Amino acid sequence: MQEKWIHWAWEKKLIPLEEEGICLHNPGVANLYKPGPDFLHASFSFDGLRWFGHIEIHVYSSDWYKHGHHQDPQYENVILHVVAFDDKPVVVNGTPLKTIVVSPPLSNVLKPLVKSPLFALPCRSLIKPLSIRFSAAYLHRFWMKRMERKKSDHSWEMAATRYLFLDLPFENVTPLNKRQRDERVLFEALKEIKDRKAYERFVSTDFFIRFKAFFSALNASKLTKFEQKNLILNGVIPFFYVPQNSHELVQVAKTIPPEKNTIVSLFQSIGIPCLNGFESQAILEIYRHLCQHKQCYTCEIGIIALSNEKKPTKIDFFL
């Protein structure tokens, strides 16, 4: 359990308070930048009284004393303590501070999956067996992140692209997986394309004509279909990417079949389709930035999954 998960759940009103007899009117404003309580100017009703003040969140209630809040005047107006484990009573101004313990099922949902398998999706047990997908805007956002990162990559795809279009050396390239052939074989296939000057046809101002001509050159080469697809998606498209032409390049990427790998298969296994190269590239970047770091509470699908699990009946998080 991490404090930021409880913080997120409180902000999204996912923590049930009805069993404690609390009626929440305002969860408060998240205090992200200044010292002091986590949420400011909250309001709730309890025992017939309306309370106004701040909310503090901890994993353990004893963190209140561990963090020195009992000696800090900024915490004198805290009216509610939200914790995962209530291991020590907290007293403020001589009065016991009202404490809410996050329910065990919700705690399990929010628990960081530090023991999950390397290629596990944190949200897998929360996604129901139905068709679900990321929005086009969300995919585009992460696809652009990937293009920016790939432009300076040292992969064989970028080395090959720089060799074809900038005449830079193609050397010291290490194949990334067992389906990739060695550097010498790749170089011979690329040299054949370059010697034919097939890449010179890649000059039209129309993106589709430019790429169609280059695809034809690749198809006539000795590169395998796997190498061709990866060269285009991870080399050529990032090489020509700038934000101004992103929409045109997305349309090109949509004409390429999706990559087939473990990560893409993970998303497909929970009902998230991957229809083309644009979507597979975006999904790979989502996994890199969010899934690997258990950032479900910032993910478009993770938010939906967690929001549907206020009171989960079954928890299976690969623990």
pLDDT tens-digit readout, 86-98 = 999 999 999 999 9
Q: What is the pLDDT of residue 312?
A: 37
Q: Distance between CA 2 and CA 56 in Å, rounded?
A: 14
At which of 191, 210, 240 does a domain end? 240
E runs forming strands in 61-98: 78-85, 91-92, 95-96
Contacts of 271 (CB under 8 A, 6+ apart): 127, 129, 130, 131, 132
Look up the domain containing 56 and give its range. Answer: 3-104
Residues lower than pLDDT 50 in the chain: 112-115, 310-319
Number of domains in the chain: 2
**Does 14 map to a domain?**
yes
Pick the last residue of a domain from 104, 126, 144: 104
In the chain, which residue ranges form alpha helices assigned H by DSSP? 3-11, 63-66, 104-110, 136-150, 156-166, 183-195, 207-219, 225-231, 237-240, 246-253, 262-269, 277-289, 300-307
| pLDDT (0 to 100) of residue 109 | 62
Together in a domain, 35 and 96: yes
- The angle formed by the CA atoms of residues 146, 221 and 278, to the nearest 5 degrees, is 25
Give the pLDDT of residue 256.
94
Amino acid 24 reads L
DSSP 8-state symbol, 305 = H
Q: Specify whether 100 is located in the same domain as 156.
A: no
| Residue at 245 is within a domain | no
Q: What percent of the chain has pLDDT over 70?
A: 81
Q: Let me know whether 171 and 78 are in one domain.
A: no
User: Are residues 34 and 99 both part of a single domain?
Assistant: yes
> Which pLDDT does position 39 carry in this prediction?
96
What pLDDT sits at residue 192?
85
Is residue 170 in a domain?
Answer: yes
In a domain, 183, yes or no: yes
Q: Which of 207, 240, 273 is the last residue of a domain?
A: 240
Residue length of the chain: 319
- Residue 285: inside a domain, yes or no? no
In a domain, 190, yes or no: yes
Asked, for residue 310, whether it belongs to a domain, the answer is: no
Q: What SS3 state is found at 29?
A: strand
